[in-house]
Chain A
Amino acid sequence: MRIVVLAKPVPDAGQERLRNDFRMDREATTEVINGNDEYALEAALKLVEASPDGGEVVLLAMAPDHAQETLRKGLALGAASAVLVTDPALEGSCALTTAHVLAAALRELSFDLVIAGVDTSDGGGGVVAAGVAALLGLPYLSYAARIEPSDGRVRVRRITPNGYEVLEAPMPALISATQALGAPRYPTLKGIMGARRKEIVIRTLADLDLAGARARGVEVGGAAATARVTGSRPRAPRGTPKVVQGSPAEAAQEVVTFLAERRLI
């Protein structure tokens, strides 16, 4: 079982900052692998471990060069190698062109499954994975809470707004992962040491075959982004909260009055 995990390096929660041109500042903050992509990685590692004929997990990211450091964290958890697509021209890419770049990079890899996260914490919209699947003609099984491969097919329990559905498709396929798949493992010292020797393959735009994108009239890179942030302002602060102490009955009475004033009860 060979699995490629789409793992986006993102600023750690709470540390995100926008630059003056309204792009995410990816230099000044420590980065981590996007939370949902860590669930994807954990699910992938478990599937490979359970697979009778072994296999391996490969990470794929499109990110600035310094993201190698973040990818090492995924290698420390057990991924065998990583591919980093990095090029100054990609800075400021939109979701559509990101999907084209990831699809082009995946065309050069062999896999039974691609697992992405359902969305990213740095402002992503949960659309890239569906786009990649459509571009590559891969069956797309999203919002996975459970992944069960057998005999060249894969079953996914997909979370829906009012329950779940069980989906099935032949492999290779692309799956998007939720937290319901299970918490990621912690890196071991051995894993961290071993990660230093694992390979991170660097690919630039010139290395990728983007004929597929061009055939659709899509240019990739920040200059060709289909959407752009034009402004940002901090949300008006709420002000200092009202603090209620005292006996439970007194506190309850105060809260009832507060809620009634705001017409919430």
Chain B
Amino acid sequence: MAGAIWVLGESKGSDLARVSAEVATLGSALGAAAGLDVVGVVAGASPDGLAAEFARYLPLVHSLAVPEAAETAFASAVGPSLAALVEREQPAYLLVGATSDGRDIAGILSVLLGWGVIANASAILWQDGRPEVEVSILGGKLLTTSVFTGQHGIITVRPTSVTAEPLASRGSVVPVTVSPEIALPAVTVVSRVAEESEAVPIDEARVIVCAGRGVGGPEGMHLVQALANELGGTVGASRAAVDSGWIPYSQQIGQTGKTVKPRLYVGLGVSGAMQHMVGMRTSETIVAVNRDAEAPIAEVADLVVIGDLFAFVQALISALQARST
């Protein structure tokens, strides 16, 4: 399978991460354009179940068992095995989601394999016999294209860059084993805590209602949540709302939070500081509610509601409910 395009599948809890299915779909289109095979790889303590799920999106998935991954930190545990498998099977390119695990693995594989990394792809074309990677930089102000200077490379792909499409028929799972010559220092996992949440993670959400400082406090947050429920969305936040302790950091959008690209972003009492806008300006539709007509978020919005957010959101919820009955 030399020269193939490989796609790494990762888990979220016990399921396949949605971004992995998206990257598989992106990789398949790239493979078709390039005339290259596209192969999935899932590594972990007991990867077969996840590999089977991944095979809904790819014709062939390697299931690489790395027992150490059960109680040691993921990327350091699976990195050497993945590198050994790559060296044996000689794929040309590796695609992985730009998630915390995906980036950790990309960094480790980059140095173990000596391959370059192009990060945060939003699209990949096949041009002149190599991938041409589109990256939205500076918070979406510019779209750049990048290439590898050599014959190999690792590409991390932003969540929600494409819509995942399962294959007509499920692919096959092939268990593989390797004995890597090196190991990375073990990092013990003392405990894993899943914070139960019904909501879709913010960077995968199709609809986001974002709370800013203007929401004022926990009471305002209830209103934000109510609107998110009505729209089938996830609640996000500016750093001001996170710093105020109204919502956990995991929901923060922006430079030091998550980059999101939902179909709909609704900002409530968000001014639109540069550090916030870099995380949301590539959203498909942006609606901003602010009592200040001069708020900078209007620069990137498709629709601006000028007025008090509390009165407006209550009216909007009523209007949405009236519509659905």
Contact between chains at B116 and A96 (CB < 8 Å): yes
Query: How many positions in chain B have a CB within 8 Å of any CB in the partner chain?
Result: 98
Report B-chain residues with C-beta under 8 Å of the C-beta of A14.
274
Q: Which A residues from 148 to 198 make CB contacts under 8 A with B?
A: 155, 158-170, 173, 178-180, 183
Asked whether B111 lies within 8 Å of A125 as measured between CB atoms, the reply is no
A234 and B111 form a contact (CB under 8 A): no
**A119 with B103: CB separation less than 8 A:** yes
Residues A18 and B318 in contact, CB atoms below 8 Å apart: no
Q: When chains A and B are docked, how far (Å) is the Cα of A233 from the Cα of B135?
A: 11
B residues near A169, Cβ cutoff 8 Å: 185-188
Q: Mark A103-126, 1 if CB is under 8 A from B, else 0.
A: 000000000000000110101111
**From residue 178 to 200 of chain B, which have CB atoms closer than 8 A to chain A?**
184-195, 197
Flag whether B252 is at the interface (Cβ < 8 A).
yes
Interface contact A235-B107, CB-CB below 8 Å: no
Would you call B164 an interface residue if the criterion is a C-beta within 8 Å of the partner chain's C-beta atoms? no
A229 to B43, CA, bound (A): 31
Q: Which of B105-145 contact A (CB under 8 A)?
A: 105-108, 110-112, 114-120, 132, 135-138, 140-145
Chain A residues near B288 (CB-CB < 8 A): 241
A264-B264 CB under 8 A given contacts A142-B100, A167-B73 = yes
Q: Hey, which chain B residues are within 8 Å of A217, CB to CB?
A: 114
A140–chain B nearest beta-carbon distance, Å? 6
Residue among A131, A226, A234 making CB contact with B108, cutoff 8 Å: A131
The complex places the Cα of A22 from the Cα of B98 at a distance, in Å, of 22
Output the least CB separation between A265 and chain B (Å).
7
Whether B7 is near chain A, meaning CB under 8 Å from some CB there, is no
A13 at the interface (CB under 8 A from B): yes
Q: What is the minimal beta-carbon distance from A76 to any residue of chain B, in angstroms? A: 21
For the complex, what is the distance from the CA of A235 to the CA of B136, rounded to whole Å? Answer: 9
Residues of B with C-beta under 8 A to A230 = 132, 145-147
User: Are A164's CB and B193's CB within 8 A?
Assistant: yes
Contact stretch, chosen from B32-40, B48-56, B215-223, B304-312:
B304-312
Measured CB to CB, the nearest residue on chain B to A234 is B142
- Cβ–Cβ < 8 Å partners of A206 in chain B: none
Flag if B148 contacts A227 (CB, 8 Å). Answer: yes
- List chain B residues, Cβ under 8 A from A246: 307
- The distance in angstroms between the C-alpha atoms of A128 and B286, with both chains bound, is 33
Cross-chain contact A252 with B318 (CB below 8 angstroms): yes
A201 at the interface (CB under 8 A from B): no
Stretch at the interface among A41-49, A78-86, A255-263: A255-263
Partner of A163 from the list B17, B192, B252, B312 (CB cut-off 8 Å) is: B192
A134 at the interface (CB under 8 A from B): yes
Q: Give the residue of B115, B140, B264 whose beta carbon is less than 8 angstroms from that of A226.
A: B115
Contact with A along B297-322 (1 / 0, CB 8 A): 01011111111100110111011100
CA distance A265 to B227 in the complex (A): 12
B contact residues around A178 at 8 Å (CB): 249, 256
In the complex, whether A204 has a CB less than 8 A from a CB of chain B is no
CB–CB A125/B106 < 8 A: yes
Instruction: Assess the A249–B143 pair: CB atoms within 8 A.
Output: no
Question: Which A residues touch B239, using CB under 8 A?
Answer: 179
Known A241-B303, A252-B319, A255-B305; contact A140-B146, beta-carbon cutoff 8 A: no
Q: Are A163 and B103 in contact (CB under 8 A)?
A: no
Instruction: Flag whether B263 is at the interface (Cβ < 8 A).
Output: yes
A16 within 8 A of B: yes
The reply to whether B144 and A22 contact each other, CB–CB distance below 8 Å, is yes
A134–B257 CB distance below 8 A: no
Contact for B194 among A13, A162, A228, A259, CB less than 8 A: A162
Inter-chain contact A143/B100, CB cutoff 8 Å: yes
Task: Give the residues in chain A near B177, CB-CB below 8 Å.
Answer: none
B278 near A13 with CB under 8 A, answer yes
Complex partner residue of B75 from A95, A140, A159, CB under 8 angstroms? A140
Residue in A closest to B116 when the chains form the complex, CB atoms: A226
Question: Which residues in A have their C-beta under 8 angstroms from that of B136?
Answer: 235
Instruction: Enumerate chain B residues within 8 angstroms of A179, measured Cβ to Cβ.
Output: 239, 249, 252, 256-257
Q: From residue A154, how far is it (CB to closest CB) to chain B in Å?
A: 10
Do B303 and A248 touch across chains, with their CB atoms under 8 A apart? no
* A35 close to chain B: CB less than 8 A: yes
Whether A139 lies near B110 (C-beta < 8 A) is: no
Contact indicator B316/A242 (Cβ below 8 Å): no
The answer to whether B99 has its CB under 8 Å from any CB of chain A is: yes
- In the complex, what distance in Å separates the CA atom of A214 from the CA atom of B147? 23
Interface residue A253 (Cβ < 8 Å from any Cβ of B): yes
Assess A121 versus B255: contact at CB under 8 Å? Given A96-B114, A162-B201.
yes
Decide: A227 near B285, CB < 8 A? Known: A139-B186, A248-B314.
no
| Segment at the A interface, from B84-92, B149-157, B165-173 | B149-157
22 CB < 8 A contacts A-B:
A95-B119, A99-B110, A100-B111, A118-B100, A125-B98, A126-B119, A127-B156, A134-B79, A163-B195, A169-B185, A169-B186, A217-B114, A227-B118, A228-B146, A229-B144, A230-B146, A233-B142, A241-B303, A245-B307, A248-B311, A248-B315, A249-B315
Closest 6 CB pairs of A and B: A125-B119, A226-B116, A130-B107, A127-B107, A14-B274, A248-B315
